[in-house]
Amino acid sequence: MSESQNSSQTPSETLSSFSKVSFIDIGPEQAGQRLDNFLIKTLKGVPKSRIYRLLRKGEVRVNKGRVKADSRLKEGDIVRLPPIRVAERGAPAVVGRQLKHYIANNILFEDEGLFILNKPSGLAVHGGSGLSLGVIEALRAEYPQYRYLELVHRLDRDTSGCLILAKKRAVLLELQNSLRYNRIDKRYIALAKGRWPKGKNTINAPLLKNTVESGERVVRVDAAGKASVTHFKIKQQFAAATLLDIKLETGRTHQIRVHCQFAGQPIAGDSKYGDEHFNESLKEAGLKRLFLHAASLRFKHPLSGDWVEVEAPLPDDLSKVLKKL
């Protein structure tokens, strides 16, 4: 057997590392994953159809034996991969000095199991759709010592504030389960059009994802959609706008933005669901982005059982807008 065939890889290896027969040792962070999901994640850039074809033909083996796509991996398993060639990708995105500085000074919480980052507006949580760099790629580049680093949830590109990332798969699964059953208290601050009625405390309206002809993803209130509940509390009233303290009971895509639109009081600076005239008037006050900020999180830590409470202060650019209203 050649040297390349005896070599052992880790799941973080690049695609070029799989140009020859290789073996991957499964550690505790990969244990419990379905084989097909593990391969899809490990072999980024390889079409799913090709991965399933390799599995059907028995070219991917675990502990020298053929396995099904839905088999669960165990710690200590050895996954054999055949030579896999794909088109070369460009050089990985480089984390610039300004972003490095921002990350270093905006980690709200960190321990052995997770990160909580105060995400800036304008930075997507992950690359794709023409973006080479997102939060997850930047953190993986800055902290290569962590073999496992995954997003627990997402924030829209233009939304700033608290974002959780897991350093362990067990933490990821537990926190995602907590999100599913509304055991994570997530609070947002938003500036909505007009004077919010004092009795409008909750919007319970199902949301449905849709894709328009241009390929743009939009969400709308629709009886055929998923149950979606948002709670609102007036934080401060202005002449033509209201600062809101918002609590999510569910976590649907664009939920706060669409529920505010549905209420007839869209969020300031929202180019997709907002009011053009309202947005233009706020530009005069210096608003250059969506006025939506993930302000705080409270949840039980999956490893220690202790309560974790973090707050992300309102960014300076948004605070300055409020002073001019």
All domains in the chain, ordered by first residue: 3-81 (3.10.290.10), 97-323 (3.30.2350.10)
Contact 157, 289 (CB under 8 A): no
Statement: residue 317 has pLDDT above 60: yes
* Choice among 70, 77, 156, 185 that is catalytic: 156
Q: Which of 53-57, 188-192, 297-301 has the lowest mean pLDDT?
A: 53-57
Q: Say which residues have a Cβ less than 8 Å from residue 235's Cβ, sequence separation at least 6.
A: 189, 242, 243, 244, 245
Residue 34 exposed, middle or buried by CB count within 10 Å (0-12, 13-18, 19+) = middle
CA–CA separation, 297 and 255 (whole Å): 17
pLDDT for the residue 4: 35
Encode pLDDT of 79-136 as tens digits: 999 888 654 454 555 788 898 899 999 999 999 999 999 999 999 998 765 556 889 8
Q: What is the pTM of this model?
A: 0.76
Mean pLDDT of the chain: 88
Whether 156 is a known active-site residue: answer yes
Encode pLDDT of 190-238 as tens digits: 999 999 998 899 999 999 998 675 667 899 999 999 999 999 999 999 9
Cα dist from 261 to 180, 255, 266, 292, 300, whole Å: 24, 10, 4, 13, 33
Encode pLDDT of 1-15 as tens digits: 333 334 455 444 444
pLDDT for the residue 14: 44
